[in-house]
Structures are given as structure tokens and as C-alpha cells.
Amino acid sequence: ETGVTQTPRHLVMGMTNKKSLKCEQHLGHNAMYWYKQSAKKPLELMFVYSLEERVENNSVPSRFSPECPNSSHLFLHLHTLQPEDSALYLCASSQDPGGHTEAFFGQGTRLTVV
């Protein structure tokens, strides 16, 4: 148990569906992240939020829409996804967004787009 919880753990969705991934952290951290792990590719940062403000958007398509309503919760809203978006989506949090503190990861959501 890392203190970062992601739901759901698995998700299958059609290309016309709208779904949301949820992440919650109980560590009192100020920064939260969404990462994407595609097959045979390195972990790729998608978004960073610090104190509920988006501080980084790593050229992610607009069909992925993040939301951070408070410092403990992070969502990733998905709509009109493509099959190539099938991947493991990991949420993480850290004390600060600068990189001098370690990140704590959730167990991920395995997304399949059909």
C-alpha cells in the first residue's frame, strides 16, 4: 500500500465512450501526476498538478482531460479514445513537483480501447 489509490484497476471502453480514471492520495503531498505506460515504451509523463494547478502538460491529445479538484484527488477524463491509447495509466504524487522528492505511485488502471 503506497498511499495512492487508483480506480478502476481495469477498464474496457469503446471509442465513442466517455469514462474517467480516479486517483486519490492520503499522503499530504502537493503534487500529483498522470503517467502512461505503453507496451515496449518508457513511462511517459502526461500531466503534473501542483497545489491543484496544472504546471505541465506534456503535449497530450485533447481527448485526455485532467481535473484536480483538490490536492488529494486527480481525475483523467477520457473521450473518443483510439485503440492506440490502450495502455497502463499510472497516477503518482510527491511532496513537491520539482524532482527532489520521490514519487509514490498507484497500481495503475489497465485501459483497453476497443
Partner 1 sequence: ILNVEQSPQSLHVQEGDSTNFTCSFPSSNFYALHWYRWETAKSPEALFVMTLNGDEKKKGRISATLNTKEGYSYLYIKGSQPEDSATYLCAFISGGSYIPTFGRGTSLIVHP
What does the binding site for partner 1 look like in residue numbers (CB under 8 A)? 2, 4, 41-45, 48, 56, 58, 90, 92, 97-108
Query: Smallest distance, Å, CB 32 to partner 1?
Result: 14
Minimum distance of partner 1 from residue 51's CB (angstroms)? 15
- Give the angle 73-74-78 at the CA atoms, nearest 5°: 145
C-beta closer to partner 1: residue 32 or 103: 103
Q: Determine the Cα–Cα distance for residues 27 and 15; give it in Å rounded to an integer.
A: 35
Q: How far is the CB of 18 from partner 1 (least distance, A)?
A: 27
CB 46 within 8 A of CB 36: yes
Q: Which three cell numbers stand for residue 25?
A: 492520495
